[in-house]
C-alpha cells in the first residue's frame, strides 16, 4: 500500500513578516499571488488547517479542501501578534521556560509537545489510508511531522527551518513513514511586477 502526504506550509502574513508570533490573519498580497502559481498533481484528498491563511493558500492554489483541526497552528495565546523582543521584555521567565521545556505553555496557549502529539495522531491515522493526501498547514506542524518521522527528539524542531509556501513530501508503505523531501520552495517571481507561472510541484 502506497501512502503519500504532501505538506504545504501556508503563505506568510504581515505579522509573520514582522517577526511576530502568528495571528489568525489574512495572507499578505505577495504570498497570495505566489500561491496561485503553485501547481500540484492530483490528490485523493485535500485538507487544510482551520486558520484563515491556510484556507486562503489552498483556495489560491485552486484546491477545494476540507478543514482538519489536527492541522491547526500552535496556539500562542497572549503572545500572538507580538514580536519576540517584546514578549521577552514582558515575560522573560516565560520565554526561558518555553525555549527550554517542550511541555511549557506560559503564553496560555498550546505547548510544542501539544502540537507534536496531535501531529503524531494525524500521521498515525493517515498511515492506514492509501493514496495521496495534500495538507495545507503551518511550520509548527510540519516540524513536528518531520521529527516524528525521523524519530528525532522534539527539541530538534527548533533547528528545522520551514519557509512559507514550501513543500514537504512524506511517503509510507503502510507500516512506517519516510521523509522524501523537505523545504522545497515555491518559485519566486522573476521580476517585481511579473510572477513566474511554473511554480513548485509535488
Q: What are 86-103's pLDDT values in tens digits? A: 999 999 999 999 999 999
Kind of pairing between the strands at 45-48 and 131-137:
parallel
**Higher pLDDT pick, 107 / 198:** 107
Where does the pLDDT of residue 183 fall: very low under 50, low under 70, confident under 90, or very high at 90 and above?
A: confident
The answer to whether 141 and 119 have CB atoms below 8 angstroms apart is: yes
Q: According to the model, what pLDDT value does residue 190 have?
A: 45
Cell of 136: 495545507
**Higher pLDDT pick, 143 / 183:** 143
Cell of 74: 500552535
List the domains of the chain with CATH numbers: 3-76+111-184 (3.40.50.1240)
Q: What is the pLDDT of residues 11-41, one digit of tens each?
A: 999 999 889 999 899 999 999 999 999 888 7
Which letter does DSSP use for residue 2 in this model?
A: -
Say if residue 187's pLDDT is above 70.
no
**Higher pLDDT pick, 185 / 2:** 2
Q: Residue range 57-67: average pLDDT? A: 95
Amino acid at each position: 500500500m502506497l501512502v503519500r502526504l504532501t505538506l504545504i506550509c501556508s503563505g506568510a502574513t504581515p505579522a509573520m513578516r514582522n517577526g511576530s508570533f502568528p495571528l489568525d490573519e489574512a495572507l499578505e498580497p505577495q504570498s497570495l499571488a505566489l500561491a496561485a502559481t503553485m501547481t500540484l498533481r492530483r490528490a485523493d484528498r485535500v485538507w487544510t488547517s482551520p486558520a484563515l491563511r491556510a484556507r486562503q493558500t489552498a483556495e489560491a492554489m485552486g484546491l477545494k479542501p476540507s478543514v482538519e483541526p489536527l492541522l491547526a497552528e500552535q496556539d500562542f495565546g497572549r503572545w500572538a501578534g507580538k514580536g519576540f523582543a517584546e514578549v521577552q521584555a514582558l515575560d522573560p521567565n516565560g520565554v526561558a521556560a518555553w525555549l527550554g521545556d517542550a511541555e511549557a505553555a506560559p503564553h496560555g496557549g498550546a505547548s510544542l509537545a501539544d502540537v507534536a502529539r496531535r501531529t503524531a495522531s494525524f500521521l498515525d491515522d493517515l498511515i492506514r489510508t492509501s493514496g495521496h493526501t495534500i495538507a495545507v498547514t503551518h511550520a509548527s506542524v510540519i516540524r513536528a511531522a518531520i521529527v516524528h518521522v525521523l524519530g528525532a527528539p522534539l527539541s530538534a524542531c527548533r533547528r528545522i527551518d520551514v519557509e512559507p509556501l514550501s513543500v514537504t513530501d512524506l511517503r509510507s508503505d503502510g507500516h512506517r513513514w519516510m521523509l522524501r523531501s523537505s523545504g522545497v520552495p515555491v518559485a519566486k517571481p522573476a521580476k517585481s511586477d511579473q510572477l513566474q507561472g511554473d511554480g513548485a510541484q509535488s
